[in-house]
Structure 1
Amino acid sequence: MSDLRQEILSKTRELFMRYGLKSITMDDIARQLGISKKTLYQVVDNKADLVHQLFEKHIEDEKEMMHKILSESHDAIDEILGIGRFVIQKLRELSPTVVYDLRKYYHESWAKMEALHQQFVYKVIKANLERGQKEGLYRTNLNPDIVAKLYVGKASIMVDENLFPLRDYNKELLFREFIFYHIHGVASPKGLTLFEQYIEEGRL
Structure 2
Amino acid sequence: MDTAMQAFIRQGIRAVRMDDIAQQLGISKRTLYEIYEDKEELLLQSIKKYNAQRVATLTEYAAQGHNVIDIVLEAYRLKLAETRMVNPVFFSDIIKYPKVEKYIKNTREYFRDKFVLFVNKGIQEGYFKKSKNLNLIPLLMDAVGDYIMSNQLLQQYPAEELFDSFYLLPLRGLCTEQGIRKLDEAIAKIQ
Q: TM-score range by the shorter chain?
A: 0.7 to 0.9
Matched residue type, 2:158: N
2:144 is aligned with 1:154: yes
Are residue 166 (structure 1) and residue 171 (structure 2) matched? no
What's the offset of the Cα at 1:175?
A: 0.7
Which deviates further from its counterpart, 42-51 or 150-159? Answer: 150-159
Verify the 8 A CA contact 1:69 1:79 in the aligned structure 2.
Answer: yes
Runs of 4 or more, structure 1, over 4 Å off, are none
Partner of 1:138: 128
Work out whether 1:187 is the aligned partner of 2:175: yes
Match among 21, 24, 32 for residue 29 of structure 1: 21
Matches of 2:45 and 2:170 in 1, distance apart?
32
Q: Secondary structure of the equivalent of 1:74?
A: coil
Aligned equivalent of 1:198, options 183, 186, 189: 186
Unaligned runs of 5+ in 2: none
Q: TM-score, normalised by structure 2?
A: 0.87
% identical aligned pairs:
24
How far apart, CA to CA, are the structure 2 residues paired with 1:76 and 1:110? Answer: 30
* Structure 2 residue 87 is matched with structure 1 residue 95: yes
Aligned counterparts of 2:111 and 2:85: Cα–Cα separation in 1: 19
Could you tell me the TM-score, scaled by structure 1's length?
Answer: 0.82
Aligned residue number for residue 163 of structure 2: 175
Shift of the 176–24 alpha-carbon distance from structure 1 to 2, 3 Å rule, reads same
Gapped runs of 5+ residues in structure 1?
Answer: 1-8
CA RMSD of aligned residues (A): 2.1
Alpha-carbon contact 1:73-1:79 (below 8 Å) kept: no
Residues of 2 paired with 1:46 and 1:130: CA distance? 42
1:165 offset after TM fit, Å?
A: 5.8
How far apart are the structure 1 equivalents of 2:64 and 2:184?
A: 20
Deviations 1:20-73 (A, max 9, x none): 222222222211111122221221112222122222222222222221232235
Question: Tell me, what secondary structure is at the counterpart of 1:158?
Answer: helix
Alignment-derived partner of residue 43 in structure 1: 35
